[in-house]
Amino acid sequence: MAGIGFLLRRNLQSNSYVGLLRAYAVAAVVGSGPWLISMGSLLCIGLYSQHVGRGTLVVTQFLGAVTHLMALSLIVAGLLQLVLVRFVADRLFDKRTSDVFPNLVGAMVCVSALGGVIGIAESLAFPSGTGPVRALYVAGFVALGNVWLLTALMSGLKRYLGVLLVFGLGYLAIVGLAGPLARFGLAGYLLAFVLGQGAMLVGMLALVRRDYPSPRRVSFEFLSPKAAHYDLAAIGVLFNVAVWADKFVFWSNPVTSVELIGPVRYSIVYDVPIFVSYLSVVPGVAVFFVRIEADFAAAYDRYFSAVRQGETLQELQRLRDELVVSARAGLFDILRVHGTTVALLLLLGTPLIGLFGIPAIYSYLFKVDVVGVGFQTFLLGIFTVLFYLDYRRLVLWLCAVFAAGNISLSLLSQALGPRFYGFGFAVSAALTAALSLQALSHRLDRLEYETFMR
Amino acid sequence: MTGARDLPNPTLGPGRRADVALLLEGTYPYVRGGVSAWVHHLIRGLPELTFSLVFIGGSRERRGARAYELPPNVVHLEEHFLESPRAAEPPGDLPGDASFFAASADLHDGFRAGAGTISAALDTVVEHLVANPERCRRDFLYSRRAWKEITERYAAGAPTRSFLEYFWTVRSMHAPLFALAAAAARVPPARVLHVVSTGFAGFLATLLRRRRGSPLIITEHGIYTKERRIELLQADWIFDDERLGPDTSDVSVGYFRQLWIGMFERIGRMTYEAADSIVTLYEGNRLRQIADGAPAARTSVLPNGIALERFRALRARRPADVPPVIALIGRVVPIKDIRTFIRAARLVIARRPEVEAWIVGPEEEDPDYAAECHELAAAGDGREGRIKLLGFRGVDEIFPRIGVNVLTSISEAQPLVVLEGFAAGVPCVATDVGCCRELIEGTDAADRALGAAGAVVQIADPEATAARIIELLDDPARWRAAQQAGIARVERLYTEELMLQRYRDLYRASFAPGTA
C-alpha cells in the first residue's frame, strides 16, 4: 500500500467508566452521623446542667459557642473534606497508599491555618477579660475543623466503626469532664470540649496512620490542579453554608437573637427546636445508609462492570433499571422512615420539646423543622446517588440553589413574622429536594447515554 | 536528514492556487516507499506544472522529517492528522443537528442498499461537514441524536454484541472523518485534485470534489481497500468477538473487523463515485476497482515506467555467460514470501550445486520474520552459504551479477524491480500476482508477440518456481530469448517518459477550459 505508516488506534477515553471509588459519596451521609452524636451530647450537657441547676447562662454560652464553632468549622472543613476524600480514593485506586497520610496532614495544615485565622478574628471581638475563653475558642475551632476532616476521610475509607467509637468515647469524655470542670465556668466547659475533641483528633489520626503508614510527613499534592477536583471544594463549602444559612440569618437578627459572647449569638426561638429536630433524622439516615451501602452499591457495580465487560445494550438497560429501582427504594425509605418518625414526633411533639425547657409555644416551629430536616435528609440521599454517578457539577448547582433559597426565604420568613419561622429552611430544603429528584430522575432515565457520551 | 529537508513548508499565498493538488496518505514526502518514489518522479518529471501537497498522517508526533527534498515546482505543503485532540470537557445537553443526522442516516441506509444510491445524501452530509466541521464533530461525540442513531443501528445490526466495543468501534471509525472535514476547509484551491489512494485521503478528496467541483483523479497502485482488509484481518487491536453464536453467518471474520473493513469499502466507493478519472497500473486492478464500485467508464490503466538509461548501462557490465546466481530483490517481509524463495532456492541448488541464491533488501521492517529467514537459509544439509541474505544493496551492483530475477510475493501491484531487471537484461520468474503475468508474457497481441521474458508461477509453490528457474539456467538459448523479450517490452511500453506524457495529458484534459 501507499507506504501507510500510521496505525488506526482506538482512542479509548481514559478513565471514563473506570469504577473509581465513590466512597466520598457515602462520606457525605455518614458525616451526619458524628454530627448527630455531637448534637446529642451537647443537648445532654444542657439537660444535665439544667437538671443539677448550675449556672444556666454559662451553659447557654457554652452551647452557643460550640454550635457557632460547629457551623463555621464545618464550612471551613467543607472546603477540603470532599477534595481530600476524592483524592485519597483516587490514590487508593492507583494503589498509592503511602500518599494517604502525608496529604491528610497537608489538608489538616490548611484547615488549621484557615480555622485559626477565623477563630482569632472572631475571638478578638469577644468582650475583654476573657483571655482563656478566647484561646480555647480558637483551639476548639482548629480541633473541630480537623475532626470533621478526619471523620470524612475515615468514612470514605469505610472505617465507620472507628469513627463511631472515637465519637462515642470522645463525647463521653466531654460530658464526663464537663462535670468537674464546670466550676471554672465557660472556660471550664470549653476546656472539656477542647480536650475531648483533641483526644478524638489524636485517636483518628493514629487509626489512619496505622492503616496507611508513609515515610513522608506532609504533602499538598491533593491541591494540585492535576489531582484535585476543585468543584468538590465548592460543593463542600456551599452545602454547609446552605445547611447553616437559616441559623446564621436568625443569629444575625437582633429581634430573633441575643448576644452570648461577642459575635457568638443565640436564638432562643430558633435554635433549640431545630437542633432537637435534627435528632429525628437518625432512623431515616440509618436505613438509607444501609440501602446505599448494600443494594445500590451492588447494583451500581453490576451496571458498570457490565459496561466494562462489554455486555449488550439490552443487558445494560436491564441493569440500569435495577439501579434505578434500588436508588428509588433507598430514597423512598428515607421518606417512609422519616415520615413515621415525624408522625410520632408530631404526636409527642409538645411534651418532648418541653423536656428541653422550651416553652410550648415553640412546638409549632419544631413541627415545621422536623419536616424541613426530613427534606434535607432526602436531599442528602439524592446527592449521594448523584455523587456515585459523579455528577459533581449538578450537585454544585443544587447546593447553590439550596444556599440561595435558604438565605432568601429565611430572611423572608423573618419579615413575615414568627408564624413563618422555620419555613425558610423547610421550603428551601423541599424545593431543592424536588429539583434534585427531578434532575436525578432525568439522568437515570438515560443513564446509558450519560455513561457513554458524557 | 539534510538541512534542506527541514526547511519550513512552502506555502501558497491567499488567493493563489497550484495546478495540481496531490492528496497523500502516509506517504510522500515524509515516508519512503514505492508510491513516494513514484510521486517524487511525477513531480520532477512535470516541471512545467505546479503542485501543492496535502499530507495526511496519523499524528504529528509520529510524522518524522521529510524523506525527500521537495522539487522547486512544489509550491505548497500542508499536513493534516487524523488524531484530533479530545475536547477537555463534554458540553452540556446537546440535541444534535436534525438535518445533519437525517442526511447521515440516509447515507448509511444508502451504503446498505448498494451502489449508486448515496449521491444525494452524501452531498448534504458533505455540506454540513465542510460548513461546520467542529459542530458536526461535537454533535457526533456528544449529542442525543448521535446516541439515538448509534443505539438504533446497534439494535438493528448487532444486538447481541458487546455494546462497549460497538460504541467505540463506531466512534473510532468516524473520528478521523471529522478531522478530515476540518482539513477540507483549509486546503488551498487547485485546478485538479489528484489523490494517490482511496481511504482517508480519498475521503478528503471526495469532500473537496463535492464542495469545490475541481476535477478529481485517483491513482491507485495497490487497491487500498484490499490492503486495508489484509491489515485489518491481522490487526490484534480489534476486539475479537468471542460470543459468536450459532446464528452468526460469517464466522471467519469477526463482526468488528467487518465493520472496519466495511467502512473502508464505503469510503472507497464514495471516492470512486466522486472521481472523474480512476487510474490504476494494470488490468487486474482496474477490474477490482470496478467490482468495488468504480464506474467502469471512468477507469483506465496507466502503467508505471522506469528511467531506462540507468539500467541500459548495466547490460554492458554483464559477463558473457549467464551467471549461476538467482536473486530476490525486495524487503524481507512476509508479503514477499521470502521463505518460499529460500525453499525454491534449496531445490535449485540440489540440482545445480554451483548456483547461489541472494536475498537483497532491508531487514529492519520485520525483524522476527528476517530472523526466521536467516534460520531457514542456514539450515544445514551441505548447502551452507549458498543462500545469502545481503541486506540492502544498490540494484546497479546486483543486476549485472545475476542470472534470474525472482519474485515470490503473495501480493504485488506493478513491481518495478521486474521492469528494472528487464532493462538491465535479466529475465524474471515471478508469482502470478498483480500484473506480473502481463509484464512477463505481455498484454495485447502485439505485446505477446515479443515473447516471454521469463516465467510465471503460482504463489507459495517452491517446486514450480525451482523448475522454471532451472529451465532458464539450463537452456542458454531460452534464457537469451527471455532477455531480449524483456528488453523489448520495457523499452516499448514501460518507460518513464511514456508515463509522464500520459499524466501530462491526463492533467491537461482535466484542466477545465478557462482555468489556464
Tens digits of residue pLDDT in A440-450: 999 998 888 88
Q: In the 8-state DSSP scheme, what is residue B195?
A: E
Residue A11 to residue B175, Cβ atoms within 8 A: yes
Q: Contact B289/B219 with Cβ under 8 angstroms?
A: no
Q: From the centroid of its chain, how far is CA B55?
A: 15
Preceding amide of B400 cis, omega within 30 = no
Which residue among A7, A307, A449 places its CB closest to the CB of B164? A307
Per-residue pLDDT at A7: 29
Per-residue pLDDT at B508: 92
Select from B49, B56, B37 the least CA-distant residue to B198.
B56
| CB contacts, 8 Å: A9 with chain B | 58, 83, 172, 237
Residue A19 has pLDDT above 70, yes or no: no
Select from B307, B256, B492 the least CA-distant residue to B416.
B307
Say yes or no: B228 contacts chain A, CB-CB below 8 A.
yes
Beta pairing, strands A264-266 & A258-261: antiparallel
Which residue among A2, A452, A454 places its CB closest to the CB of B35? A2
Task: Identify the residue whose cell numbers are 453490576.
Answer: A302
Neighbours of B265 (CB within 10 A): 20
Residue A7 to residue B83, Cβ atoms within 8 A: no
Cβ neighbours of residue A44 closer than 8 Å, sequence gap 6 or more: A175
Is A297 strand, coil or helix?
A: helix
Among B86, B163, B198, B231, which would you mutate to test the A interface (most chain A Cβ atoms within 10 Å of its Cβ)?
A: B163
Q: Interior CA angle at A392 toward A390 and A393, to 5°?
A: 135
Residue A6 to residue B58, Cβ atoms within 8 A: yes
Residue A294 has pLDDT above 80, yes or no: no
Per-residue pLDDT at A18: 34
Say yes or no: B82 contacts chain A, CB-CB below 8 A.
yes
The percentage of residues in chain A with a pLDDT greater than 90, rounded to a whole number, is: 34
Per-residue pLDDT at A14: 33
C-alpha cell at A439: 434532575
Distances (CA, A) of A62 to A66, A147, B415: 6, 19, 95
Which residue among B59, B167, B172 places its CB closest to the CB of A452? B167
Enumerate residues 19 to 38 of chain B having a beta carbon within 8 A of any beta carbon in chain A.
24-27, 30-36
Residue A5 to residue B34, Cβ atoms within 8 A: no
Per-residue pLDDT at B3: 46
Say yes or no: B468 contacts chain A, CB-CB below 8 A.
no
Smallest CA–CA separation between B155 and chain A, in Å? 8
Fold type of domain B308-493 = Rossmann fold (3.40.50)
Residue B90 to residue A6, Cβ atoms within 8 A: no
| CB contacts, 8 Å: B168 with chain A | 10, 12
Residue A11 to residue B62, Cβ atoms within 8 A: no
* Chain A positions touching chain B (beta carbons under 8 Å): 1-13, 307-314, 316, 446, 448-449, 452-454
Per-residue pLDDT at B233: 80
Say yes or no: B412 contacts chain A, CB-CB below 8 A.
no
Mean pLDDT by 10 residues, chain B (516 residues): 63 88 91 86 94 90 84 94 68 84 89 71 86 89 92 91 88 88 89 94 93 92 86 74 47 78 91 93 92 93 91 93 95 92 94 94 90 88 79 92 96 90 97 94 93 96 96 95 96 94 93 57
Per-residue pLDDT at A72: 93
C-alpha cell at B503: 499524466
Q: From the centroid of its chain, how far is CA B487?
A: 27
For range A205-223, the mean pLDDT: 92
Total beta-carbon pairs less than 8 A apart between chain A and chain B: 104
- Name the helix (H) or strand (E) containing B162: none
Residue B34 to residue A312, Cβ atoms within 8 A: no
Residue A281 has pLDDT above 90, yes or no: no
| CB contacts, 8 Å: B237 with chain A | 7-10
> How far is residue A271's CA from residue A422's CA, in Å, rounded to a whole number?
10
Q: What is the mean pLDDT of chain A?
A: 83
pTM for the structure as a whole: 0.77
Per-residue pLDDT at B355: 94
Q: In the 8-state DSSP scheme, what is residue B495?
A: B
Lowest mean pLDDT: which of A23-32, A406-415, B223-232? Answer: A23-32
Fold agreement (B18-92+176-305+495-516, B308-493): yes
Per-residue pLDDT at A12: 31
Q: Please report the beta strands in B124-178, taking only residues with DSSP state E, as ranges in sequence order.
A: none
Say yes or no: B197 contacts chain A, CB-CB below 8 A.
yes
Say yes or no: B89 contacts chain A, CB-CB below 8 A.
no
> How far is residue B300's CA from residue B144's CA, in Å, rounded to a whole number?
45
Per-residue pLDDT at B252: 58
Q: What is the SS3 assignment for B290-353?
A: HHCCCCHHHEEECCCCECHHHHHHHHCCCCCCCCCEEEEECCCCHHHCHHHHHHHHHHHHHHCC
Q: How confident is the model at residue A372 (pLDDT cuts 50, 70, 90)?
A: very high
> What is the secondary structure of B230-296 as a DSSP string?
HHHHH-SSSPP-TT--TT-S--SS-HHHHHHHHHHHHHHHHHHHH-SEEEESSHHHHHHHHHTT--G
Fold type of domain B18-92+176-305+495-516 = Rossmann fold (3.40.50)
Per-residue pLDDT at A204: 94
Which residue among A2, A12, A308 places its CB closest to the CB of B196? A2
Say yes or no: B57 contacts chain A, CB-CB below 8 A.
yes
Is A73 strand, coil or helix?
A: helix
Residue B86 to residue A13, Cβ atoms within 8 A: yes
Which residue among B62, B162, B175 places its CB closest to the CB of A310? B162
Q: What are the structural domain ranges in chain B?
A: 18-92+176-305+495-516, 308-493
ipTM greater than 0.85: no
Residue A454 to residue B160, Cβ atoms within 8 A: no
Which residue among A5, A9, A449 places its CB closest to the CB of B26? A5
Say yes or no: B484 contacts chain A, CB-CB below 8 A.
no
CB < 8 Å & 24+ apart, contacts of A185-189 = A185/A55, A185/A58, A186/A58, A186/A61, A186/A62, A186/A65, A186/A130, A186/A133, A186/A261, A187/A132, A187/A133, A187/A136, A189/A45, A189/A58, A189/A59, A189/A62
Per-residue pLDDT at A440: 94
Per-residue pLDDT at A54: 58
